Structure 1
């Protein structure tokens, strides 16, 4: 198995590779672009297999040829065969596989004592690709999960030279200074329904990871868990690792391992070929990779929505990543980072001033607003039935029986403003009339009669419904709306 030069050139010419080069020029080497393009660059696209055999029984040969016949039938548009003068070595089957640089197609050549065959330009289904394209780091199950979960199987948070990336893949600028910042702190769910089953596991997972700037663009890291305090500092050749104040001896060939009183492993430390160090805490299911200048942290999916710090909330929502210790969301990335700084006498740099600004900055509470899914309502112009989308039985009946009703926002014009109801209401279509009407107290969002208002009115006129769910109501009014529609 190997990688071809054409594959290397293909990866180097990808836009993601260019972005990675730009980030590396700025001193950032473990942001998402570089991590993703590095993973892609390691796929192997050329394979060769030699199978030697002797005294194979006839039934085994028949089974093998039957299997080949199935493949030949499936790929009959791509196959060419030579049964006349194959001139191949006896007692040997050779198979060569060459993928296209994009890995979207492949060529296969098969040489046997009886014949030679070539399959050319065979398309590879995206779901088959993880099964047959080998990677030196990921096994088959990991490649499949990588594909199924859209590359989110390995949640990673990174603090690089001057930028950081959260678990939810939000990248933002940082300037830590020589001041400890909380990179990750486990905040387990304390809800009643989870306390009875997960408290023991949460105790095992309690962990905090701190990071700060050192000299010459380097970083220092501190990991605290289960009575252990691990310090990572830059060193000559490789990082210096100390556990509870004692320096750890480790190398590529020598794994340093720490166990608890029960004999279970709590920490593993070993060197990486590039001069970094990898630490793994199996009970916390946390991995830290550190090279003196940057730190990459991988966490189990069990930490989802249970962490705070520079790594974000890990809840799958990018917009909540800047949640501060006050449990509200900041806008400024520098103020957000400073809100997780630890103010002590050793703190030097911009964090102290930024922390004070963060305390005074406007911080937005997260609020879940339940509302109608406006895009699911049918357009007026299509006059479709929405029988299953409205809770009123009479209205459902009118749509099902007459087929001439639909939903649209109510529009009011008053005082130089245009008001549009937040929830679409029943209306009667052409050749239909309201059999009866009812008064409803409706919530409206009103704006000045201008370009935006006219844009919304155009959407409504074309049968659409502008999404005002995030705007909120600023006006209430009583309107008479049809209760039931019938044909004229």
Structure 2
């Protein structure tokens, strides 16, 4: 397995690679552009296999040839065969695979003692690509999850030389100075319905990661969890790691490991080939990679919507990343970063002034705005097959007992657009009233208020339901819908 020169040249000429080069010139090496292009650059596109065999039973040969016949039939437009003068020696099968630089197609050559075959320019389905294109760092399951979750399987937060990136992929400028800033602090959900078990799990995950500038564009990091205080500082050759005041000896060949009283691992430390260090806290499921100038933090998906700090809220919403400790959203990135600074006597740099500005700056509370549902369309008497798509038990009961309820798409009108819910919801007919309402988060497909929109509204008015399954959702809103319907 190897990487070809055309593949290397292809990756180097990608726009993302050019952006990475520009960021590296500014001293930033672990922002999303560089992380993504580095992952792409490591895919292997050339494979060679030699299979030697001796005294193979006839049935095994028949099965192998039957499998090849299926492949030949599936790729008959791409295959050429040579039964006259095959090139391979007796007792050996050779297979060579060469992907196109884009990894979107491949060539396969098969040489056996009986024949030679070549499959050329075979298209590779995007979902098949993770199965057959090897990567030195990610195994098969990781590659599939990376594809299925659109590269969000391994959420990463990074603090580089003068920029930072949140878990939700928002990049913004920073100037920390020699002042500790909260990069990540676990803020578990303390709602009343949380079970004691989940609270115990949250205690196990309690962790804080701090970062500040050092000399010459370097960074210092502090990690605090479960009675451990880990300090990372720049060093000559490799970073200096201190755990509870004691310097840790580690190398590429020597893994430093710390255990609790129960004998369970709480921290692993080892060196990376290029002079960095990797720390992993398995009980917290947190990984930190540090090279003296920048820090990259990977967190489990269990931390979603339960963290605060420079890494953002980790809730999948970019616009909430600048949530301050007051639980409101700031606009200015420097003021946001300063709001997570620790104002002690050792704090030096712009953070103190910016923190004061952040306290006085306008901070926006996050609000959920309920959509006004237009459900006064007539013709609701007949039940339709679509009524049974997602009704819950209460809805089924109200439909049967009152006889005056049905299901229809919800309609919103806002900003010159008409939005129709993908899933029909319970509505009350004439001479009926809603007995209680509930808030639901619904997915809508919105289009401009024009001829097509009016056509869809006519269908709904006549008791129909437009098929929007292939359109997909492009808007979400919270709507109030009846719990059940009763006669007036």
TM-score calculated relative to the size of structure 1: 0.79
Q: Secondary structure at the match of 2:370?
A: coil
Q: Which runs of 5+ in 2 are unaligned?
A: none
1:433–1:487: 8 Å Cα contact kept in structure 2?
Answer: yes
Q: Go from structure 1 to structure 2 and tell me whether the alpha carbon gap of 1:433 and 1:363 turns closer, same or farther (over 3 Å shift).
A: closer
Which residue is equivalent to 1:351?
A: 351
Distance in 2 of aligned mates of 1:83 and 1:279: 57
**SS in structure 1 at match of 2:182:** strand
Q: 1:50: how far off?
A: 0.1
Quick one: structure 1 residues 312 and 72, their matched pair in 2 at CA, closer, same or farther if it must change by over 3 Å?
same
- Give the deviation of 1:421 after TM superposition: 19
Q: Structure 1 residues 174 and 230, CA, compared in 2 at 3 Å: closer, same or farther? A: same
Q: Could you say which residue in structure 2 is the equivalent of 1:251? A: 251
Shift of 1:394: 21
Quick one: structure 1 residues 281 and 376, their matched pair in 2 at CA, closer, same or farther if it must change by over 3 Å? farther
Q: CA deviation at 1:196?
A: 2.4
Q: In 2, Cα distance between the equivalents of 1:313 and 1:149?
A: 19
Contact 1:377–1:389 under 8 Å retained in 2: no
DSSP-derived class of the 2:29 partner: coil
Change (3 A) 1:430 1:59: same
- CA deviations on 1:336-385 (whole Å, 9 max, x unpaired) are 00000000000000000000000000000111122147899999999999
Summarize deviations over 1:41-99 as a string: whole Å, max 9, x none.
00000000000011111111111100100000010010000011113211100000000
Q: Which moved more, 1:237-246 or 1:441-450?
A: 441-450
SS in 2 for 1:386: helix
Q: Aligned with 2:386: secondary structure?
A: coil
Counterparts of 1:138-149 in structure 2 under 5 Å? 138-149=138-149
SS at match of 2:483: strand
Distance 1:62 1:181 in 2: 67
Is the deviation greater in 8-17 or in 390-399? 390-399
Q: Which moved more, 1:345-354 or 1:453-462?
A: 453-462
CA distance 1:295–1:122, change in 2 (3 Å): same
Q: Is contact 1:379-1:408 (8 Å) kept?
A: no
Q: Kindly indicate whether the alpha-carbon contact (under 8 Å) linking 2:370 and 2:478 is maintained by their aligned counterparts in 1.
A: no
Task: Give me the whole-angstrom Cα distance separating, in 2, the residues matched to 1:415 and 1:296.
Answer: 41
Q: Distance in 2 between matches of 1:471 and 1:76?
A: 35
Compared CA separation, residues 58 and 426, structure 1 to 2 (3 A)? closer
User: Greater CA deviation, 391-400 or 145-154?
Assistant: 391-400
Q: Quick one: structure 1 residues 11 and 421, their matched pair in 2 at CA, closer, same or farther if it must change by over 3 Å?
A: closer
Q: Could you say which structure has the larger radius of gyration?
A: 1
Change in CA separation of 1:479 and 1:291 when aligned onto 2, cut-off 3 Å: closer
Q: Aligned residue for 1:14?
A: 14
1:383–1:403 CA contact under 8 A, matched in 2: no
Q: Structure 1 residues 132, 331: CA separation in 2 closer, same or farther (over 3 Å shift)?
A: same
Give the drift of 1:238. 0.3
Aligned pair in 2 of structure 1 residues 199, 480: CA closer, same or farther (>3 Å)?
closer
Alpha-carbon separation, structure 1, partners of 2:179 and 2:34: 27
- Shift of the 63–482 alpha-carbon distance from structure 1 to 2, 3 Å rule, reads closer
Question: CA–CA distance in 2 between the matches of 1:166 and 1:23?
Answer: 17
SS at match of 2:64: helix
* 1:51-200 alignment, distance < 5 Å: 51-200=51-200
**Could you tell me how far apart the structure 1 residues matched to 2:85 and 2:414 are?**
91
More displaced 10-residue stretch of structure 1: 453-462 or 170-179: 453-462
Distance 1:379 1:101, change over 3 A: farther
Q: Which runs of 4+ in 1 moved over 3 A?
A: 372-488
Q: Tell me if the contact between 2:373 and 2:412 (Cα under 8 Å) persists in the aligned partners.
A: no
Query: 2 CA distance for matches of 1:419 and 1:71?
Result: 47
Deviation per CA, 1:429-488, whole angstroms, max 9, x where unpaired?
Answer: 999999999999999999999999999999999999999999999999999999999999
Normalization by structure 2: what TM-score?
0.79
- What's the CA shift string for 1:177-228, capped at 9, x where partnerless? 0000000000000012223231111111000000000000000000000000
What's the secondary structure of 2:21's corresponding residue?
helix
Q: Structure 1 residues 102 and 179 mapped into 2: Cα distance closer, same or farther (>3 Å)?
A: same
Q: Contact between 2:373 and 2:410, CA under 8 Å: does it hold in 1?
A: no
**How far apart, CA to CA, are the structure 1 residues paired with 2:325 and 2:480?**
48
Deviations 1:162-189 (A, max 9, x none): 0000000000000000000000000000
Equivalence for 1:270: 270
CA distance in 2, matches of 1:76, 1:416: 53
Distance 1:321 1:332 in 2: 12
Relative to structure 1, is the Cα distance of residues 405 and 89 closer, same or farther in structure 2, using a 3 angstrom cutoff? same
Q: Deviations over 1:224-270 (max 9, x none)?
A: 00000000000000000000000000000000000011111000000
CA shift in 2, pair 1:379/1:229, >3 Å = farther
Give the secondary structure class of the aligned counterpart of 2:194. Answer: helix
Q: For the structure 1 residues 120 and 286, does the alpha-carbon distance in structure 2 shift closer, same or farther, using more than 3 Å as the test?
A: same
Of stretches 387-396 and 76-85 in structure 1, the one that deviates more from structure 2 is 387-396
CA contact (8 A) 1:379 1:464 kept: no
CA distance 1:483–1:6, change in 2 (3 Å) = closer
Q: Give the drift of 1:388.
A: 11
Question: For structure 1, which runs of at least 5 residues remain unmatched after alignment?
Answer: none
Distance 1:310 1:385, change over 3 A: same
